[in-house]
Structure 1
Amino acid sequence: MKQTTRRTFIAGTTATGVAALAGCADDDAPEETPEATEEPPEDTPEETEEPEEEPDDVDEEPAYEIWSADQGTNTIYIHEPTGDGEFEQVDAIDTGAEGGEVPHMVDYSSDYEYAAVACTAGARTLVYRTEDRELVANLETGAGSHFAGFSPDDEYIHVDAIGEEEIVRVDVDLENEEFEQVDSIDVREDETIVDAGIEDGSPICHQYAQDGRSIHTMGPSYHDAALVIVDHDDFSVDRAYSGDEIPTNCGTVSHPTDEKFYLTAGLPSDPDADPDEDPVAAEGVGDFYVYDTADDEVATVESTGGVDAHGFWFTPDGEELWVLNRETNDGLVIDPDTDEVIEEIDAFGPEQSENPNEADSPDIMWASPDGEYMFVTLRGPNPLSGDPHAATGINPGYAVLDVESREIVDVVQPDGDNEDSDFHGIGVRPLQAFDGFTSPPY
């Protein structure tokens, strides 16, 4: 079984304690005598031990940084925790200056030294060196480049390009910072996909299973949903399932250690649909699937308890899987050992309403590597992707939820008054060593 590839990659600085001077002196002190305990003369100042204090000019190194993508303003904001439960903006990247209109998703190399940003309207993937935010590659990966993810060995970047109806493969040489598009899978022409009866839909998202295969959902609509599994070694389609079998169209994440894979299927409700004639359209869909990668079969299908199931994420200890519903601004916590629901989350964004247009719309989430917070992007009043009925939000930015209490403790809004602001992708980059599952592929 493949071990986690992103558990302890960043060598953090280790603080070393300094012994107090009085403590060191005690080691050689003479044995105490009655005279030694007498009160000192009045003209002799009594010595007292003062606790050693950190110098004022020494700043504690941040533990991680958050990259959040405002696709409405073509900006990636970078924040760091301040240590008091707040988050400070330390940088911003203008992806639009490089042709990267609508930066949609963020993914990191296994050592977090590079970030790949898929830009849907820009028809490209931008790769940044994370330490200094320098652009090292501007790749024309095709119309609707929706998600670009590094392979576990960092030898390739696979891109789900909606408009091209292709899974694009980019050869990667990180040592020399060289990138070359070398192959693609046309989902309209691939024999395995066609034989599965998949006539519509395009690649949406993917991640890597324990066996190294990349598992891709199809969409973007639930009506275009399907599942395509790609053999990573020879970049060929291993198997495919039509929407009649597995109608997954969004989230993808592997179990950190077991041979199973999680997927979401979501559809916004249609207020104009007749519930008697088309109950699925009228009510919408919120489901999650558990796919057994060892036996290649669906093991579980369960409701997410809301409408338009979308993003999800593991806590770093691997004990919880969080899943959210975009339209209803709610979600669940799943026990990945049993795949049973153990708790409900009432709201990911602070504005909640039975009317989706008057509520926040959460989208993608990522946990802090210390397991304290879950960061959840919130859509804006003019969403650039997704069904407006489900994706229209109130507070563009990202919410900070306390993992233990499930409560919202902060909402970070770099450009909250801008009606064009619309947050979608997010990524958390560790700056110190952490023992845990910090990001897929696990």
Structure 2
Amino acid sequence: MRMSLGPFLGATVGLGLLSACVETAGPTGLAASEAATETELGASTEEQPFEVWAVDQSNTNGLTYGGTLYIYDGDGLTGAHGVNPVAAEVIDIGGETAALCLAQTGANPVRPHMLFFNAAHTHAVLSFVASGHVVIFDAATRAPIACLRSSPGADGARQAHAAVPAPDDSYILVANQNGKLLERIATDYAAGTFAWDHAATLNLATCIAPSGDPCQFPHIRSDNAPICPIIDAAGAHGFITLRGGGLFVVDPAATPIRIVGEYDEATVHGNGCGGVEARGSMFIDSGGGTAANLDQFDVYRFPLGGYAPTNPANTPPPEVVFTDGSPDRDAHGTLLTKHARTLWVLDRIQGVAEVFDVTTNARLGAVDLKGPYSSDPAPDLMAMSPSGNRIFVTLRGPTPLSGDPHASVGSTPGVGVIHVTQAGKSGKLKAITPITNQDGAGVERADPHAIQVRRR
């Protein structure tokens, strides 16, 4: 069972430190470790200016759509002994953005869920999981400049769960979750033109895999709702996680999008929502948090090459880095630390980040985010400062709008600031900058989810 909800203990944190790992030394060794950590943090500096974008997916107060975008100046979140909790900008998505979507698609955008920047960090791409919208923002001016809506699937459903820009900025790959479509938007950021490439669409509910098996079929891939499209740095392959388990590797630039690798649900478990490329591999997780699969924590390591439609299914085989299907586990957001040394994978239920060595696959331990600042943080997604010495994490609220409440309920909605230590092997939650959205009855509706760091 989850921990009971605890009180929120403030936004600006002083010298009180939360130990992020089990110390085997006595009090003297612990004090020396803490002193070394403070010296390390005090000496570290950011290499370039940056800002942190975080999105509260709860509706604009009084409306049934919208949300809120918070943009924090990086300097305010990176003090050695605390943070400035004041957001540099607070943007009501229920205002100008909703008006643009209504004008361009005839519908309001609902539940802003995932956020990414294009390669040049000139534009932001925000997907709306409930309504199927994808909005492109001019990152410097914060202005929404285009709003598109995904296509309805066979049963009329559509959701833009994640919309990921290509490494060369030529397209956006869209996981239309309940529509069970993988869609593509052609992009020209310089010209400001964005359009659906309907000829590229891959219908994951009705297609036939290269093996001849149906793409969706009981005990092979029982529920092909695409969750996260993860594109490698070369743009050669897209790794498409599926709600019911299994995975497709696709050529994301082909027309139509072409399957070049297929994996069944016995090989890759469902609900994957994180992936990072490191050391010639793609690390991908699978998790719980849905009614059909409440508890799961897996990390897989896929090669970046060797895919072909002529391969047998489940080829090339992924390495299983870690697996735990015991109760109250839920792998979610992933992050690669500086110099590609370690991989962090969040567990929303346990309130920890599991840490793995990307060279050896060894599990190095868990960074515990529970403590004096939050008894139930429900960490969801992460982003890292340019220098690599801070990780920013969205913490879910008491009324989550996505994911099963079993996994997603948290007591301190906001942005957590983690100081990274031991060259990425450990860290400390040093502060929480709160996000709040109380309704007329005083119920806290804030539900932070998306987060990214933008280089300026």
Name the TM-score class by shorter chain. Answer: 0.7 to 0.9
Label 1:379 to 1:77 Cα distance change in 2 as closer, same or farther (>3 A).
same
Report the alpha carbon displacement of residue 281 of structure 1 after superposing the two structures with TM. Answer: 6.4
Larger Rg: 1 or 2? 1
Query: What secondary structure does 1:167 align onto?
Result: strand
Asked if the contact 1:400–1:409 (Cα under 8 Å) also holds between the matched residues in 2, the reply is: yes
| Greater relative contact order, per chain length (Cα 8 Å cut-off, separation 6+) | 2
Match for residue 246 of structure 1 among 250, 268, 277: 268
Name the counterpart of 1:430. 455
Query: What secondary structure does 1:407 align onto?
Result: strand
Deviations 1:12-32 (A, max 9, x none): xxxxxxxxxxxxxxxxxxxxx
Name the counterpart of 2:181. 166
Q: Gaps (5+ residues) in structure 1?
A: 1-59, 271-279, 354-358, 432-442
The answer to whether the aligner puts 1:72 opposite 2:58 as a matched pair is yes
Name the counterpart of 1:19. none
Label 1:203 to 1:159 Cα distance change in 2 as closer, same or farther (>3 A).
same
Query: What secondary structure does 2:407 align onto?
Result: helix
Name the counterpart of 2:40. none
Match for residue 427 of structure 2 among 396, 406, 410: 406
Asked if the contact 2:435–2:446 (Cα under 8 Å) also holds between the matched residues in 1, the reply is: no
Give, in whole Å, the separation in 1 of the partners of 2:447 and 2:388. 26
The answer to whether the aligner puts 1:207 opposite 2:230 as a matched pair is yes
The answer to whether the aligner puts 1:262 opposite 2:283 as a matched pair is yes
Report the alpha carbon displacement of residue 106 of structure 1 after superposing the two structures with TM. Answer: 0.5
Give, in whole Å, the separation in 2 of the partners of 1:233 and 1:109. 16
Give, in whole Å, the separation in 2 of the partners of 1:331 and 1:374. 11
Determine what percentage of the aligned residue pairs are the same residue. 27
Match for residue 300 of structure 1 among 312, 320, 332: 320
Q: How does 1:89-128 map to 2 (within 5 A)?
A: 89-97=87-95, 98=98, 99-128=108-137
Report the alpha carbon displacement of residue 366 of structure 1 after superposing the two structures with TM. Answer: 0.9
Q: How does 1:318-329 map to 2 (within 5 A)?
A: 318-329=340-351
Deviations 1:52-108 (A, max 9, x none): xxxxxxxx9982100001001301100012363424411122223313321101101
The answer to whether the aligner puts 1:364 opposite 2:378 as a matched pair is no
Give, in whole Å, the separation in 2 of the partners of 1:61 and 1:255. 22
Give the aligned residue type for 2:252.
H
Give the aligned residue type for 1:69.
V
Give the aligned residue type for 2:88.
V
Name the counterpart of 2:444. 419
TM-score norm. by structure 1 comes to 0.74
Give the aligned residue type for 2:214.
D
Give, in whole Å, the separation in 2 of the partners of 1:416 and 1:406. 29
Query: What secondary structure does 1:96 align onto?
Result: coil
Query: What secondary structure does 1:380 align onto?
Result: coil
Give, in whole Å, the separation in 1 of the partners of 2:136 and 2:390. 26
Give, in whole Å, the separation in 1 of the partners of 2:374 and 2:430. 15
Name the counterpart of 1:144. 159
User: What's the RMSD between the two structures over aligned residues?
Assistant: 2.5
Name the counterpart of 2:390. 373
Report the alpha carbon displacement of residue 291 of structure 1 after superposing the two structures with TM. Answer: 1.4
Give, in whole Å, the separation in 2 of the partners of 1:90 and 1:79. 5
Name the counterpart of 1:226. 246
Report the alpha carbon displacement of residue 200 of structure 1 after superposing the two structures with TM. Answer: 1.7
The answer to whether the aligner puts 1:237 opposite 2:276 as a matched pair is no
Asked if the contact 1:128–1:137 (Cα under 8 Å) also holds between the matched residues in 2, the reply is: yes
Asked if the contact 1:396–1:416 (Cα under 8 Å) also holds between the matched residues in 2, the reply is: no
Query: What secondary structure does 1:200 align onto?
Result: coil
Give the aligned residue type for 1:365.
M
Give the aligned residue type for 1:308.
D
Give the aligned residue type for 2:261.
R
Give, in whole Å, the separation in 1 of the partners of 2:373 and 2:262. 39
Count of aligned residue pairs for this structure pair? 352
Give, in whole Å, the separation in 2 of the partners of 1:91 and 1:367. 20
Give the aligned residue type for 2:297.
G
Q: Which runs of 4+ in 1 moved over 6 A?
A: none
Query: What secondary structure does 2:183 align onto?
Result: strand
TM-score norm. by structure 2 comes to 0.72
